[in-house]
């Protein structure tokens, strides 16, 4: 495996763990809003002998994402893989009391930004590349209205893209991680016994095998 990997949502959790796990074989282009967390990720990647380009950007900013993808084209011409880990975990609430700001933020990050990124990244992957999404099937569960609905919409986009590109590429993979001890899960299940959960690093090691196998 060679080339560059774009990871959106790379500052922490599964995104950061996958960046580290993939860095021995690929140059990592890490996108997230938190500069400090990206710099810490870069230190860990370098310690593994890898290299990274840090892109402290908000994926909801269309102009910034367009500029990033243009820069990737100009510098590397293509991507080997796009790994999309960015997600907004809105506070749990009954569907009848979802806060408008939480709903709009969930919609913009989980759904709208994903739709735009597919159009921007697809030309960089061409027919040989690969896009990787992560399912979290909570749609319809109580109190998961904002997260569940917008995450389900994201997965619907990914599944449509996967069906459309079977013959032409890029290959679109939809993987389902095991429950992990992440900040996102802690927001959903505060006080949960986390000793039974996988670490992001353990889960990244497992998922990298699936990504490599295609």
Query: What is the tens place of the pLDDT at every residue in 167-207?
Result: 999 999 999 999 999 988 998 999 899 999 999 999 999 99
Q: What confidence category does residue 212 fall into, taking pLDDT thresholds of 50, 70 and 90?
A: confident
- What is the number of alpha carbons within 13 Å of residue 15 lying toward its C-beta? 26
Phi, psi of 6 (to 5 degrees): -95, 125
Output the pTM of the full model: 0.95
Phi, psi of 102 (to 5 degrees): -65, -40
Residue 199 sits at the vertex; the CA angle it makes with 198 and 200, to the nearest 5 degrees, is 115
pLDDT digits (tens, 9 = 90+) for 84-122: 999 999 999 999 999 999 999 999 999 999 999 999 999
Distance CA 30, CA 7 (A): 5
pLDDT on residue 1: 54
Long-range contacts of 75-78 (CB under 8 A, 24+ apart): 76/3, 76/4, 76/27, 78/3, 78/4, 78/124, 78/125, 78/126, 78/129
The percentage of the chain sitting over the pLDDT mark of 70, rounded to a whole number, equals 99
Q: Could you tell me which CATH number the domain at 4-213 has?
A: 3.40.50.720
In this predicted structure, the answer to whether residue 148 has a pLDDT above a threshold of 70 is yes
pLDDT on residue 2: 74
**Which residues lie across from 52 on neighbouring strands?**
28
pLDDT on residue 124: 98
């Amino acid at each position: 495996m060679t080339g560059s990997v774009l990871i959106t949502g790379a500052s922490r959790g599964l995104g950061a763990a996958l960046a580290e796990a993939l860095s021995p074989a690929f140059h990592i282009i890490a996108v997230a809003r938190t500069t400090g967390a990206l710099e810490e990720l870069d230190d860990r990647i370098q310690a593994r002998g890898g290299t990274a380009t840090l892109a402290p950007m908000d994926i909801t900013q269309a102009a910034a994402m367009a500029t990033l993808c243009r820069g990737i084209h100009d510098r590397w011409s293509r991507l080997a893989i796009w790994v999309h880990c960015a997600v907004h975990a809105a506070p749990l609430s009954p569907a009848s009391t979802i806060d408008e700001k939480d709903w709009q933020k969930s919609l913009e990050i989980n759904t709208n930004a994903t739709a735009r990124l597919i159009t921007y990244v697809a030309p960089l992957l061409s027919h040989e590349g690969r896009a990787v999404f992560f399912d979290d099937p909570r749609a319809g569960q109580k109190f998961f209205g904002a997260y569940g609905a917008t995450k389900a919409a994201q997965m619907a986009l990914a599944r449509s893209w996967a069906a459309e590109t079977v013959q032409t590429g890029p290959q679109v993979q939809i993987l389902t991680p095991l429950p992990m001890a992440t900040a996102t899960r802690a927001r959903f299940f505060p006080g949960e016994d986390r000793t039974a959960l996988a670490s992001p690093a353990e889960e990244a090691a497992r998922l990298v095998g699936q990504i490599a196998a295609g």
